[in-house]
């Protein structure tokens, strides 16, 4: 039987390759900028490579991070995770893409594999954060992930992962969702080969879930009003990532590289006091999309 070290090595190889393939595809789509690459070492064990594209033709900021770290957690943080002891190892790939055009949604995805004591598990997912949503885009995103999930057996369950995503990417202090969801899963244990195949399938289909939306919306004209609303909603993105995001907390609690951990933040955001979009406006329409629905079961029409 393969031991956990070998499992980690195989997961890390998958995530490195996924980072390469996604970055190559995003550079081709952007057509203007290229990723800057930084290698970093974590005090205590491991490191990673961070790639960030800035001020491109489509993406104002795109970050795609790979990491493989190991060592010991603090007793306080270790008590919050499955498994015995303080020793841990974690590897994963995470990305956040912030386009210039407010009609192109922000997207996030991450896939990870962790070991702690006698426990090992996968986590991850992908979710969409539009500013000016289009129904066919949201339906396409959800249908893609439902198709991926239905190719795999338990514990993979699209309905469960979709609900988990809706509940996770939620700002309780605002009483609103961050975006329109997708899938989210954590602590997936069991048959390593089956779960690795599922996570690999997710990674292979991320571009299919997102890039058709980019191509449909990248040429739409926008002005200062749309840009201001995009920056206002980006503020919600910042609030979630700094207050609730598990990846942010895990990275900071385990001594990861701060610049890499916070690469997910948008380059420009704003907080407008007590702002409410006018009823019936395109901006107000977003809030109807933020209410969870079974998007994957709807007919895709514009």
Stronger pLDDT, 220 or 3, i.e. the higher one: 220
Q: Do residues 63 and 51 make contact, with C-beta atoms less than 8 angstroms apart?
A: yes
Dig out the tokens for 182 from the structure: 């997708």
Condensed to tens digits (0 to 9), the pLDDT of residues 81-94 reads 888 888 899 999 99
Instruction: Provide mean pLDDT across the span 158-187.
Output: 97
Percentage of residues of the chain with pLDDT beyond 90: 81
User: In the chain, what are the domain boundaries?
Assistant: 4-297
pLDDT of 49 over the 60 cut: yes
Of the pLDDT bands very low, low, confident and very high (cuts 50, 70, 90), residue 4 is: low
Backbone φ, ψ for residue 222 (5° rounding): -145, 160
CATH of segment(s) 4-297: 3.40.1500.10
Q: How far is CA 168 from the centre of its chain?
A: 12
- Give me the torsion for CA of 148, 190, 261, 291, rounded to 10°: 50
How many residues in total does the chain contain? 302
- Whether the pTM exceeds 0.85: the reply is yes
Task: Report how far residue 18's alpha carbon sits from residue 113's, in angstroms, rounded to the nearest whole number.
Answer: 14
pLDDT of 299 over the 80 cut: no
Task: Report how far residue 24's alpha carbon sits from residue 37's, in angstroms, rounded to the nearest whole number.
Answer: 13
Catalytic annotation, residues: 108
pLDDT recorded at residue 257: 86
Q: What is the mean pLDDT of the chain?
A: 94
- Closest among 187, 191, 156 to 2, alpha carbons compared: 191
pLDDT recorded at residue 300: 65
Instruction: Provide mean pLDDT across the span 161-172.
Output: 97
Condensed to tens digits (0 to 9), the pLDDT of residues 218-263 reads 999 999 999 999 999 999 999 999 999 888 888 888 788 889 889 8
pLDDT recorded at residue 1: 40
């Amino acid at each position: 039987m393969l031991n956990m070290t070998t499992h980690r090595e195989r997961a890390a190889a998958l995530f490195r390759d996924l980072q390469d393939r996604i970055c190559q595809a995003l550079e081709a789509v952007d057509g203007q900028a290229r990723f800057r690459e930084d290698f970093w070492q974590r005090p205590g064990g491991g490191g990673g490579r961070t790639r960030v594209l800035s001020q491109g033709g489509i993406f104002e900021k795109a970050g795609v991070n790979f990491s493989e770290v190991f060592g010991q957690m603090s007793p306080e943080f270790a008590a919050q995770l499955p498994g015995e002891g303080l020793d841990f190892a974690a590897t994963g790939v995470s990305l956040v893409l912030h386009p210039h055009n407010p009609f192109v949604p922000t997207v996030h995805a991450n896939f990870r594999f962790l070991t702690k004591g006698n426990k090992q598990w996968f986590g991850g997912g992908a979710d969409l954060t539009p500013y000016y949503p289009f129904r066919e885009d949201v339906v396409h995103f959800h249908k893609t992930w439902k198709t991926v999930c239905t190719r795999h057996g338990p514990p993979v369950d699209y309905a469960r992962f979709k609900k988990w995503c809706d509940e996770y990417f939620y700002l309780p202090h605002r009483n609103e969702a961050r975006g329109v969801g997708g899938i989210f899963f954590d602590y997936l244990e069991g048959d390593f080969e089956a779960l690795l195949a599922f996570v690999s399938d997710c990674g292979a289909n991320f571009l299919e879930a997102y890039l058709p939306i980019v191509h449909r919306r990248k040429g739409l004209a926008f002005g200062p009003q749309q840009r201001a609303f995009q920056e206002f909603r980006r503020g919600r993105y910042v609030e979630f990532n700094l207050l609730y995001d598990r990846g942010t907390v895990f990275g900071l609690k385990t001594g990861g590289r701060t610049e890499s951990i916070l690469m997910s933040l948008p380059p420009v955001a704003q907080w407008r006091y007590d702002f409410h979009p006018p009823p019936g406006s395109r901006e107000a329409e977003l809030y109807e999309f933020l209410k969870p629905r079974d998007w994957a079961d709807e007919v895709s029409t514009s």
